[in-house]
Amino acid sequence: MAHIVIIGNGIAGITCARHVRKQGGDQITVISGETEHFFSRTALMYIYMGHMKYEHTKPYEDWFWEKNKIDLVFDFVTGIETGAKSLQLKSGKKIKYDKLVLATGSQPNKFGWPGQDLPGVQGLYSYQDLETLEKNTGNCKRAVIVGGGLIGIELAEMLASRKIPVTFLVREKSFWDLVLPAEESAMINRHIVEHHIDLRLDTELKEIKAGPDGKASAIITSTGEEIPCQVVGLTAGVHANIDLAKSFGVETKRGILVDDHLQTNLPDVYAIGDCAELRNPLPHRKAIEQVWYTGRMMGETLALTLTDKPTRYVPGIWFNSAKFLDIEYQTYGSVPAIASEGVDSFWWEHAAGKKGIRINFDQATGTVLGMNAMGIRQRHEVWDGWIRQKTKVDRVINELEKANFDPEFFDTCEQEIRAAFSTQFPYFEIEKKRKKKLFGIF
């Protein structure tokens, strides 16, 4: 019976612990200095917005851990001796391990802006960040958010929900356009403005100025404009949290380098989740993928390796999702911001401008490569199958109803989508189709 110690109680670390327990009777310890229990980081925004309380974001009740013999230690790791296989904790305690898993997550990026460490300036990643935000926005007349990504738009939504005026600085020409193709990105731009958020595209932060009380009081943009504000949210992406790993000789680059089995250069030391950087990522996949789902999959996979069933980490077809204010987004397969050579990209957008579907397919063979859905829910299983089996785009378009995951009675768009596809790509044969069954039976 080995003692497996996991540093970090996010989705990667906790999934790993749970799956090790499913495999057998190893001793499991999870250490976190952030919160005593696992909570869903993606739900932090909902606590601030009053949709939920902190306890609602805990996916397992507190008795779960003891029942499953997963020891939780609420502490920080300050040092590691790999020779003695021992961890030094901030409280002074030491913990011995047989196998060590680093699941230390990420940290918000800061790019050396003047004033970036002033009170009132913060990122949004941890539970502590949320507490800070609560304090900072107690008396806030305007907030500025710097960085147009997923956390940036979430923070904008959070502040707007408390009726705090928000200015949203986005470096790019359009929101998240490094990931989203132009039409999707434009749709979100419009939606942000619809929510009365002061969106500034193509604008960077130059400097944060302090007021007489030493707190942030204004920012200056790359266009030279000064915007008075009490809170500055820095949401220009995150980077792997590798400080601890670096301190004891684990090989790192942008993240903690791991092989196909998620092992670092040191024996019995592994890394998973946001902090891990794959030495040999699969083609079309990135070396660091900082999303919930890959953290979970790495945890599932590593649990097998740790319990003497060495298993390579092989993520399947890429998928992701987000919600931009009121517009849900799902993506399956490969849909880069700009379609590569030899790839055709079909885009349909609903007249109201809040729904859209993109399907990318290979020009030569017609096989589907990936899809984006905006404001329409799509069935993961169906798209995973279509992409995996290299299904032809005309068949996909003809059978699009199969992938519809919208609730009953919602307006269906498949007929319209098919018509648009026929117009854009007239050389495919597209059937005129039957209506969706009422209640699934008539």
Rounded CA Rg of the chain: 24
- Please provide the distance, in angstroms rounded to a whole number, between the alpha carbons at the two ends of the chain: 57
CB-nearer residue toward another protein: 87 or 403: 403
CA angle 416, 421, 422 (to 5 degrees): 100
Written as six digits, the tokens of 300 are: 């599932």
Binder among 76, 248, 405, 425 for another protein (CB under 8 A): 405
Contact 335, 367 (CB under 8 A): no
Helix-helix angle 150-161:182-194, to 10 degrees: 20
Q: For residue 13, what are its two tokens?
A: 């670390």
Segment (H or E) for 325: none
User: Of these, 243, 381, 419, 423, which contacts another protein (CB under 8 A)?
Assistant: 381
Residue 118 one-letter amino acid: L
Query: What is the number of other CB atoms lying within 10 angstroms of the CB of residue 433?
Result: 15
- Looking up tokens 């923070």 gives 155
Q: From the CB of 164, what's the least distance to another protein, in Å?
A: 12
Q: In angstroms, what is the minimal distance from the CB of 41 to another protein? A: 9
Region of 26-34, 70-78, 210-218, 307-315 interacting with another protein (CB under 8 A): 307-315
> Distance between CA atoms of 282 and 300, rounded to whole angstroms?
18
Is 440 a residue that touches another protein (CB under 8 A)? yes
Considering only 3, 142, 206, 323, the residue that binds another protein (CB under 8 A) is 323
Nearest alpha-carbon partner for 205 in 221, 225, 216: 221
DSSP one-letter code for 402:
G
Choices 95-103, 123-131, 360-368, 434-442; region in contact with another protein by CB under 8 A: 434-442
Residues 210-269 that bind another protein (CB under 8 A): none
Decide if residue 284 touches another protein (CB under 8 A).
no
Total residues at the site for another protein (CB under 8 A)? 59
Q: Which of 24, 56, 214, 390 binds another protein (CB under 8 A)?
A: 56
For residues 133 and 304, which CB has a smaller minimum distance to another protein in the complex?
304
With beta carbons less than 8 A apart as the criterion, state whether 387 and 368 touch: yes
φ, ψ for residue 207, nearest 5 deg: -160, 145
Asked if residue 402 binds another protein (CB under 8 A), the reply is no
Residue 58 engages another protein in binding (rule: CB under 8 A)? yes
Token readout for 259 is 């092989």
The answer to whether residues 43 and 52 touch, using CB atoms and an 8 Å cutoff, is yes
Enter the tokens of residue 22. Answer: 């499913």
Q: How many alpha carbons lie under 13 Å from residue 346 in its C-beta half-sphere? A: 28
Nearer to another protein, 364 or 438 (CB): 438
Indicate the residue among 8 and 115 with the shorter CB distance to another protein: 8
127 near another protein, rule: CB under 8 A: no
| Piece of the chain touching another protein by CB under 8 A; list 96-104, 130-138, 374-382, 417-425 | 374-382
Q: Is the C-alpha dihedral spanning 54, 58, 61, 65 positive or negative?
A: negative
Residues 67-126 that bind another protein (CB under 8 A): none
**Which of these ranges, 96-104, 114-122, 251-259, 408-416, lies near another protein under the rule CB under 8 A?**
408-416
CB 320 within 8 A of CB 297: no
- Please provide the DSSP assignment of 142-184 as one string: -EEEE--SHHHHHHHHHHHHTT--EEEE-SSSSTTTTTS-HHH
Stretch that binds another protein, among 57-65, 79-87, 125-133, 250-258 (CB under 8 A): 57-65
How far is Cα 403 from Cα 284, in angstroms, rounded to an integer? 24
Q: Of 263, 301, 334, 398, which one interacts with another protein (CB under 8 A)?
A: 301
Interface pick for another protein out of 191, 200, 355, 418 (rule CB under 8 A): 191
Q: Judged by CB under 8 A, which stretch of 79-87, 174-182, 229-237, 311-319 contacts another protein? A: 311-319
Number of residues in the chain: 442
Q: Find the part of the chain contacting another protein (CB under 8 A) among 111-119, 308-316, 359-367, 391-399.
A: 308-316
The one among 66, 117, 134, 194 contacting another protein by CB under 8 A: 194
Smallest distance from the beta carbon of 133 to another protein, in angstroms? 14
In this complex, which beta carbon is closest to another protein, that of residue 142 or of residue 323? 323
In the bound state with another protein, the residue whose beta carbon lies nearer, of 87 and 272, is: 272
Judged by beta carbon, residue 24 or residue 214, the one nearer another protein is: 24
Q: Which residues bind another protein (CB under 8 A)?
A: 11, 40, 42-43, 46, 49-53, 56-59, 61, 161-162, 191, 194-196, 292-293, 296-297, 300-301, 304, 311-317, 319, 321-323, 325-326, 328, 330, 377-381, 384, 405-411, 439-441
